[in-house]
Amino acid sequence: SALLENWGCEVIRCPKHEEAITQLHTNLEKLDLLLADYRLDGVETGLDFLNHSNTQEGNYTTLLVTAEQDLSIKNAAQDNGHLFLHKPVDPAALRGILTRLAGMRKMRATRKQ
């Protein structure tokens, strides 16, 4: 989150699944990226949260990050339409995702005019 904030991003931190769900519903219209660590506090995972986000009508991209080496986690994330990065996250890879998101947001704004 510190890296994202240094790049000028507004970050909402949610260590627990329930809190993340609440913030998702509260901030649905202004979210551009949902970034979730696979390991959350509690039983649910970041993948559970991102899969829940697929049921919402938001206009955001989803990204799962994890230090887990289990290939099934990556496959499950990608099969559900989420981007995936291993920890430690390469700042250049994350920056590339943000740059693509900014470009897509700019194109959407241009189309609306």
pLDDT tens digits for range 46-57: 999 999 999 998
At 62 the pLDDT is: 94
At 71 the pLDDT is: 96
- CB neighbour class for 88 (10 Å; exposed up to 12, middle 13-18, buried from 19): exposed
CA distance 30 to 14: 16
Supply the DSSP symbol for 7: T
CA distance 71 to 79: 12
| Adjacent-strand bridge partners of 39 | 45
At 110 the pLDDT is: 66
At 111 the pLDDT is: 66
Who wins on pLDDT, 90 or 41? 90
The three-class DSSP label of residue 8 is: coil
pTM reported for the whole predicted model: 0.88
Smallest CA-to-CA distance from 101 within 54, 32, 36 is with 32
Residue 58 has pLDDT above 90, yes or no: no
